[in-house]
A = this chain, B = another copy of it.
Amino acid sequence: MNYAMVVNQFGLLVMLLSGFMLIAPAVAAAFRGLPGDASAVGAMIITGTTSLLLGSVAFLLSRKGDKFLGRKEALLLVATSWIGGALVAALPFWLWALWDSPAGHPFRSLVHCYFEAMSGLTTTGATVLGGEQPIDIESLPPSLLLWRSLTHWLGGLGIVVLFVAVLPGLGVGGKRLFNIEASGPAKEGLQPQIRETARWLWYIYVGLTVAEFLLLRTLGGLDSFDSLNHTFATLSTGGFSTRNASIGAFEGNLFVYPIIITFMLLAGVNFGLYYKLGRGKLTNIFADTELRVYLGLTALGTVLIALTLIVNQTPITMTDATVHETPGWLGAFWHSTFATVTSLTGTGFCAPDFENWPFLAKGLIVTIMFVGPCSGSTGGGMKVIRVWVGIKLLLAEIEHIFRPQVIRPVRLGNTTLDPELRLGTAIYLLGVLVLFAGGAFLVMFFEQFNSQQDLDPITALTASIATLSNVGPGLGLVGPTGNYGGFTSPSLLLMSLLMALGRLEVYAIIVLFSPTFWRRD
């Protein structure tokens, strides 16, 4: 293992993070003014400068020597980027809290800050903030709010570049693991010119960012600060909001819902498709199987959830506590669309409080959290393509029982899935389910151990999947109007690990637990 090169590249990443940390307070001050934000700006400048310094030292000291970055080094670097990066990103929260936060603020605990930063960088959007002032979201100084949203945006960009540009270029092995993600069913693949691809992805990402910002600012009627923050949180399918009621705070403007829904959906598409479309390598984007299943699933979820709302004549309570007593067909579809898209893409913005919805609607919402959007998008979860392959494998296996003579190949578009890929997909799905169950079990255990009271299992189960799938809110204590601030530190650290596992598609983190990985070879 060439540790020097890992340190070198991680140093570079820390320098990059620090740079944004130093820019953020200036932008926040420009939008919201400096008064009341002084201590937070101070905290960000101090941590930004310090980490810029440390990052530079690490980068410079490790500059010489072997430039080799092999498979193991790349995996270790990816894992370190999120696990270590979250620590760097957590420091401004913590320093500000030690310095100038009200008593009992969650950020006075470094673990809570780490959870929040990891939730940001992994584009999860689970927050420890919430409750009455001054520990709610809106009481946080503007520069910290912006930094919080910015971690989403950086994390989302990082993931797209990683999964669409970098990993498929790591050679055949890398292709094997990530070829479904990287190029969709057609295997022509993105060219291994990593820099070129990354540059294009950056254009696309920034382009979408500018478009959503302008739409929210003009049509949506949000001020510049809110527009910027919510744009960051949408395109990364993150979900941090600057408002306690999340998107529910903007219900007054008719355009906010459709803008947010559209961009959440766009962020859930494989960015490789945008790239191919932009480079003229694809004429019909809807030829992509995963995209069609993704849109079909969105439509199906919306209709089913709307129907349960209509049949049960459920009043829609919003996160800002306004209630639509008789929402009617249109209202039911309206809010069902929002709930479906925010859950499927793993954004986790809240507007209707689905905690009070019928059991069936809640069950569907949790189920689609497992699925997640397309591979190569900024969203988390199992990914549409894997679930689709999993369903095909199950059906093929059933037919195989009574027709062993028929060997029907499992196809995806024009490609026949080879045995290794089929096994890999099945094991991946199995692994996610094991992690989900293990996560829920450990959270219940940690909380029970600390409080001697059983944690409500719905909270534990949905907290586990909402972090593992990088969604954010779940049900129960972590529902649309709840938050993660009440968990004890072991649970928060565990859920930070779940977020990293989910974000990096499990393997990049789980290899760290393998003794063979660390062995010299």
Contact = CB atoms under 8 A, between A and B. Distances in A.
Interface stretch (A23-31, A341-349, A507-515): A507-515
Contacts of A397: 424, 427-428, 431, 507
Contacts of A514: 398-399, 402
Interface string A55-87: 000000000000000011001000000000000
A378 to B, nearest CB: 22
A173 B404 CA distance: 6
A327 to B, nearest CB: 20
Interface string A21-45: 0000000000000000000000000
Interface stretch (A108-116, A152-160, A297-305, A440-448): A440-448
Max chain B CB contacts within 10 Å: which of A177, A404, A431, A458? Answer: A404
Interface in A395-438: 397-399, 401-405, 419-420, 422-424, 426-431, 433-434
A505 to B, nearest CB: 10
B394 A430 contact: yes
A283 interface: no
A402 B75 contact: yes
A24 B127 CA distance: 63
A461 B457 contact: yes
A208 interface: no
A125 to B, nearest CB: 24
A195 interface: no
A363 interface: yes
A3 interface: no
Contacts of A422: 423
A516 interface: yes
Interface residues on A, range: 35 or more
Interface string A459-484: 00100000000000000000000000
A427 B426 contact: yes
Contacts of A367: 441
Nearest to A456: B457
A19 to B, nearest CB: 31
Contacts of A394: 427, 430-431, 434
A234 B375 CA distance: 49
B404 A172 contact: yes
A401 B363 contact: no
A390 B445 contact: no
A360 interface: yes
A360 to B, nearest CB: 6
Contacts of A403: 71, 516
Contacts of A399: 514, 516
Interface in A319-345: none
A363 B445 contact: yes
A176 B403 CA distance: 12
Given A430-B390, A433-B433, A402 B359 contact: no
Contacts of A223: none
Nearest to A393: B427
Nearest to A513: B398
Contact of A426 (B360, B430, B445): B430
Interface in A154-210: 172-173, 176-177
A409 to B, nearest CB: 13
28 contacts: A72-B402, A75-B401, A75-B402, A173-B404, A358-B448, A359-B444, A359-B445, A359-B449, A363-B444, A367-B441, A393-B423, A394-B434, A397-B424, A397-B427, A397-B431, A398-B507, A399-B516, A401-B507, A402-B511, A403-B516, A419-B419, A419-B423, A422-B423, A423-B423, A423-B426, A426-B427, A426-B430, A433-B433
Interface of A: 71-72, 75, 172-173, 176-177, 358-360, 363, 367, 390, 393-394, 397-399, 401-405, 419-420, 422-424, 426-431, 433-434, 441, 444-445, 448-449, 454, 457-458, 461, 507-508, 510-511, 514, 516-517
Given A363-B444, A402-B511, A403-B516, 15 more contacts: A71-B404, A72-B402, A176-B404, A359-B448, A359-B454, A394-B427, A394-B430, A394-B434, A397-B428, A398-B511, A401-B511, A402-B514, A419-B419, A423-B426, A457-B458
